[in-house]
Amino acid sequence: MRRWRATAPGSTSNLGPGFDCLGMAFALPLTVTAERIDGGFHIARRGEGADLALDPHRDPVLHAFRHLCRKAGRPVPTVALTIRSSIPVARGLGSSAAAIVAGLTLANHWLGGRYSGAALLQEAVWLEGHPDNVAPALRGGLIASFSRRDGETEALSLPVPRGIGFTLVVPEIRVSTAKARALLPRTVTLRDAAANTARAIALVTLLAQRRFDLLADALEDVYHVPHRARLIPGFDAVVAAGRRAGAFGVTISGSGPTLLAIHPPRAGARVAASMIRAFARAGIPSRAIRGRIDRRGAFARTLQESRNR
The answer as to whether 308 is a domain residue is no
- The pTM of this model reads 0.94
CATH of the domain at 252: 3.30.70.890
The answer as to whether 307 is a domain residue is no
- Structural domain span for residue 70: 3-159+294-302
Q: Domain tally for the chain?
A: 2
pLDDT (tens digit per residue) in 107-159: 999 999 999 999 999 999 999 999 999 999 999 999 999 999 999 999 999 99
201 plus 275 within the same structural domain: yes
CATH of the domain at 34: 3.30.230.10
By CB atoms closer than 10 A (0-12, 13-18, 19+), residue 114 is middle
Residue 43: closest CA among 105, 87, 34? 34
13 plus 46 within the same structural domain: yes
Residue 259: closest CA among 243, 267, 143? 243
Distance between CA 45 and CA 49 in Å, rounded? Answer: 7
139 plus 247 within the same structural domain: no
pLDDT (tens digit per residue) in 60-105: 999 999 999 999 999 999 999 999 999 999 999 999 999 999 999 9
231 plus 210 within the same structural domain: yes
